[in-house]
Structure formats: structure tokens, C-alpha cells
Amino acid sequence: MKINQASRINGETDNFLSRQQELIRELKQAGHEVISLGRGSPDLPTFPDIVDEFLQDSKKSLNHGYPPYGGKQSLKVAIQKFYQSEYGVELSLDEITIFSGSLAAITALPMVLLNPGDYALIPDPAFFGYQNGVKMAGGRSYPLPLKADHQYLPSYDQIPPAVLNQANLLFLNYPNNPTGAGATREFFEETVSFAKQNQIPVVHDFAYADISFHQSAPSFLSVPGAKDVGVELYTLSKTFNMAGWRIAFAVGNQELIHLIEGFIRVSFGGVFGAIQDAVEFGLLNSQEGRANLRAVYQDRQAAAVQLLKAHHIEVLDSAGTFFLWIKLPNDVDDVQFANDLLKEKYVAVVAGSTFGEYGKGYIRVSLVDQTETILETLKRLISFIEEN
């Protein structure tokens, strides 16, 4: 029988990264040693005391049943304390909801905010999840170019009024994947007034919150009025090395929190109680672990940028994240380049156009291996750039 796929998922389940994973598997099976600096999955383990806490909590029978909708009260209290001590942001318990990874909320938000044909404003380049979520919800994406000459921040004054009239969601993400750019408090203040003026809910994806090198990355909620217009998504995947555990939360505007929670209740369900307990412990006991992790990424970034610049390769001196955003010389096709690099040098990186039109001509390298391996891999990359 021929299976007819619904148009809303056309293309979404077969993206660059899944095809790349397939090719890596084939190359490994053929005996090649592939180094993957493609996916953004942290290489270091979860902090050991969080794992120990989880082992204890997993034995509690209370955790073996369905978890409460929206997350455990005890974890919400820990999130309150965490946001207060890290960002000076006061939250009430109904301004917090917990789910299985931020991708769940990124999918839920277009579903609960967009009617067919409505616009979501999405940075370009950006994490693929925003675009996919909007498409699956039947919405339209309006790209906000992130350009070097505007510090990789969107220019709201370039959006046509017809789009603004039909827009009901704005995604932002700083420190930014894939560029590594940071946002300022002034930009977030501008965002709040833009959102109020045009009545557009804001979602700030704070996935790389802690991985900020020159100064602490501001929380969107720390600027006045932010809670009136939006929410912030905080995942444990990157900053706690917990990508496999699948846990994240949203904080901010109560109505939006309620909508996310409602959608997640009927779709994804909750998060294993022992994971929630371990995160409760982690949020309150992780300052040192997170600072060490930030230092690791900062060292890797500095060494990698120094090597690339010594070979006159254009790379953004990133403000945060564990990504390098590298400009390919001579209008080289980034998809072709990334595919050939994998097949010929056994190095996986992500083609920039995977992240949008404005990613064309770039590649993204994830600093998710030891510095020595990263530098060796970059040498292979550099020689490939020089040969092409």
C-alpha cells in the first residue's frame, strides 16, 4: 500500500541532519573514523551529583506513576529560586510549566497561537525547530534576517505592516544558535515595546543561557514589561549536559504558560518524576559545575577561533554557545561543501543554509569534543577549504 503523508509534515522529517546521521552511520560501517562536529549534543556527562540524585529518586514509588500535569510543585519552587538568584526575576508558580525538552514547547507554541495563514516572525538563520513548528501548525514564517552589520539582531522596522497585522508569534534565541551572537538588554527592551505596539507574543529560547563568554547573557524576563508579552524557554540539555534526559521549562506570561501546558497535556504528557527531582537538586546545586562548563567551552572557542583566524578564515568571535559560525570563501555552496567534507575528510559539520536563507555560504561547527580533537578536525577542515 502507498502511504500518503500529510502535507503539514512534508520535508520536516527528512532534514539535513537526519540525512547526515545516515551517511555517518554508513561511513562508520565501512570502517572510517568520522568526527562529528555537526549536531549540538554536548560531549561531556551530566554533573555526577545530579546523576546520583536521580538514582535515589528513581527508587521512589511515587515517581513510578504519571507525573502531575505541568510539572511537580517542588521543581517549580526550585525554578523560582533559580530565576531569582540567577537573573533577579520573580516568578509565581503559575508562571512556570515543565515539559520534555524545549522542542516540545517550540512545537506547542505555533499550535496554540497561529491560525492557518497567520505569521510567525522567525530569525534567519535559526534553529530548525521554529520553522518546522510553524509549518506543522499551518502558519507562515516571516524571516527576520540576522546580519553581521546589525550584530545578528533582527531589525523590527523592516517588517511590512501587512505581515505585522497577521503576526502572532515572535521567536528569538540568544546566545544565538547558529551564529554565537549575544543580545543586549536594550535589544530586549526594544523587543518588549515592539511586541506591545503590535500585540505579538514573544518566545525567547534561552537554550544556551549560561554559555556566555564576555558577560552574563541577560534573561528576556529581566527587562521591564517582558512578562506582559512573552515567555522564556529554558532547557537543561546544553547548560547541564542533560540533552538525553529530555527536560526543559517555560517561564513568564501566565496566559501563554497556561496555553503551552494545555497543549502538552494532550500531546506529549509529562516528565518522569525522578528526572524532575534530579533537576530540582541540580538547579539549586550547580553553580560551580555550570561555571566550569562555561570555562571549558570558552577555552575551546578561543583555541578554535585563533587557529581559524591564523589561516585567514572568517569566523565570528562568538559571545556564547558552543558553535562556530564560519564563512566559506568564494561563494562556495555550503551544502555541497558539508557533504563533500564528510565523504572525503570524514568530518561532519552543518551546512549554513539548513538554518535559513541567510545561512547560505556558512557552515556551523559544534565545539563538542576535546580541544585537541577539535583542533585536529579544524586542520582537516582548513586544508579542505584551501583545496577548494
Using the minimum distance from each CB to ligand PLP, give the nearer residue, 57 or 232.
232
CA distances from 132 to 142, 188, 231, 270 (A): 13, 25, 19, 22
Using the minimum distance from each CB to ligand PLP, give the nearer residue, 105 or 313.
105
Using the minimum distance from each CB to ligand PLP, give the nearer residue, 129 or 201.
129
State the residue for C-alpha cell 529560547.
205
Using the minimum distance from each CB to ligand PLP, give the nearer residue, 365 or 385.
365
Using the minimum distance from each CB to ligand PLP, give the nearer residue, 76 or 364.
364
State the residue for C-alpha cell 540568544.
174
Q: Which long-range contacts (C-beta less than 8 Å, at least 24 apart) are formed by 298-306?
A: 298/213, 299/371, 300/367, 300/371, 300/374, 301/213, 301/367, 303/371, 303/374, 303/375, 304/365, 304/367, 304/371, 304/374, 304/375, 304/378
DSSP code per residue over 159-218 = S-HHHHHTEEEEEEESSPTTT-----HHHHHHHHHHHHHHT--EEEE-TTTT-BSSSPPP
Using the minimum distance from each CB to ligand PLP, give the nearer residue, 89 or 207.
207
Nearest Cα residue to 57 out of 240, 270, 278: 278
Q: C-beta of 108: minimal distance to ligand PLP in Å?
A: 12
Q: C-beta of 181: minimal distance to ligand PLP in Å?
A: 12
Q: C-beta of 106: minimal distance to ligand PLP in Å?
A: 6
Using the minimum distance from each CB to ligand PLP, give the nearer residue, 20 or 198.
20
**Residue ranges that bind ligand PLP, judged by CB under 6 A:** 40, 101-103, 127, 129, 173, 177, 205, 207, 235, 237, 243, 248
Cβ count near 31 (within 10 Å):
6
Q: C-beta of 237: minimal distance to ligand PLP in Å?
A: 3
Q: C-beta of 355: minimal distance to ligand PLP in Å?
A: 10
Reduce the DSSP state of residue 32 to 3 states and report it. Answer: coil
Characterize the bridge pairing of strands 362-366 and 314-315.
Answer: unpaired
Q: C-beta of 129: minimal distance to ligand PLP in Å?
A: 6
Distance CA 195, CA 193 (A): 5
Q: C-beta of 223: minimal distance to ligand PLP in Å?
A: 20
Q: What are phi and psi of 325, to 5 degrees?
A: -110, 105
